[in-house]
């Protein structure tokens, strides 16, 4: 009974972890595959960026290490169900043959702590993709206006103005560099833009702090850009370069952000 209780608690802890990430997780689920039905310890369904994701998890609260045969069995279940990924979570570890059987497959072998770290990183990566999409749209809108118009409507400082009150290019570079660092999980992240008009802290020690900074600053820039474009429209100056696309090559923002990020890695 004690062994069963330990396994049950272990399984429920794994389910609770996925629930905490916003996924829909169930324990002891019978899932119908193409060839047959399968009893799954933890069945996880969630949605990232509009795409349905299905994971299955085997909870091994055993004293012995997981074997190659058990990994091959899970690979067969993952294939039959059509799951995106399978996990074996073991408290005792895995035999070398198990790692060989899982290599280059969509079956992952983890301890519970490793599962929590890896899935957290996966969620963060998906959130960063949404920030990146917002950033790209802002970059395209910003660069679609001529330099004269950007200066006239407060989207960047004048060439002879060194006050650094606000310039969209600098904010975009800081945001893009920060996203690149977060993708590499390279914390703390320097958020110093040297602009007098800025939002949030100047350093992010974790993903939550970076997320808050990106929300504050991208929202601020979107509002500033929208107000400027409305004034352009009223004054007859709204004439963006609508031929600009991502296929036209690397933007100035991208080049400078990459240079800034690489320089930071070398320090």
Least confident of 112-116, 134-138, 214-218, 253-257: 253-257
Higher pLDDT, 126 or 168: 168
DSSP string, 126-161: HHHHHHHHHHHHHHHHHHTS-HHHHHHTTSS--TT-
- Which residues of 191-242 form beta strands (DSSP E)? 203-204
Give the pLDDT of residue 74.
Answer: 96
% of the chain with per-residue pLDDT over 70:
86
Q: Binning pLDDT at 50, 70 and 90, where does residue 255 land?
A: low
Residue 87 near residue 108, CB atoms below 8 Å? yes
Number of H helices, E strands in the chain: 8, 7
Residue 141 near residue 152, CB atoms below 8 Å? no
d(CA 101, CA 57): 16
Task: List the beta bridge partners of residue 54.
Answer: 45
Q: How confident is the model over 49-92, as pLDDT tens digits?
A: 456 778 999 999 988 999 999 999 999 999 999 998 899 999 99
Give the pLDDT of residue 2.
Answer: 53
Entry pTM: 0.60
- Using alpha carbons, list the distances in angstroms from residue 246 to 60, 75, 139, 243, 251: 47, 39, 10, 10, 8
């Amino acid at each position: 009974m004690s062994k069963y209780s330990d396994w049950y608690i272990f399984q429920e802890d794994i389910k609770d972890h996925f629930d905490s990430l916003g996924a829909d997780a169930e324990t002891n689920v019978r899932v119908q595959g193409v060839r047959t039905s399968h009893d799954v310890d933890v069945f996880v369904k969630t949605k990232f960026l509009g795409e349905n994701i299905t994971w299955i998890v085997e909870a091994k609260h055993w004293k012995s290490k997981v074997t190659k045969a058990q990994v091959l069995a899970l690979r067969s279940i993952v294939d039959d169900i059509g799951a995106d990924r399978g996990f074996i979570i073991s408290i005792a570890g895995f035999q070398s043959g198990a790692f060989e059987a899982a290599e280059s497959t969509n079956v992952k072998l983890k301890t519970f702590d490793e599962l929590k770290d890896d899935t957290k990183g996966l969620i963060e990566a998906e959130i960063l993709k949404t920030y990146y999409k917002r950033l790209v749209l802002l970059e395209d809108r910003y660069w679609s206006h001529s330099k004269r118009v950007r200066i006239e409507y407060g989207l960047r400082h004048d060439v002879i103005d060194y006050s650094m009150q606000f310039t969209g290019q600098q904010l975009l570079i800081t945001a893009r560099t920060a996203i690149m660092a977060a993708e590499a999980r390279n914390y703390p992240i320097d958020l110093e833009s040297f602009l007098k008009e800025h939002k949030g802290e100047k350093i992010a020690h974790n993903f939550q702090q970076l997320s808050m900074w990106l929300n504050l600053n991208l929202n601020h820039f979107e509002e500033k850009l929208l107000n400027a474009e409305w004034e352009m429209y009223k004054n007859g100056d709204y004439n963006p370069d609508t031929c600009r696309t991502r296929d036209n090559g690397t933007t100035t923002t991208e080049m400078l952000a990459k240079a800034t990020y690489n320089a930071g890695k070398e320090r």
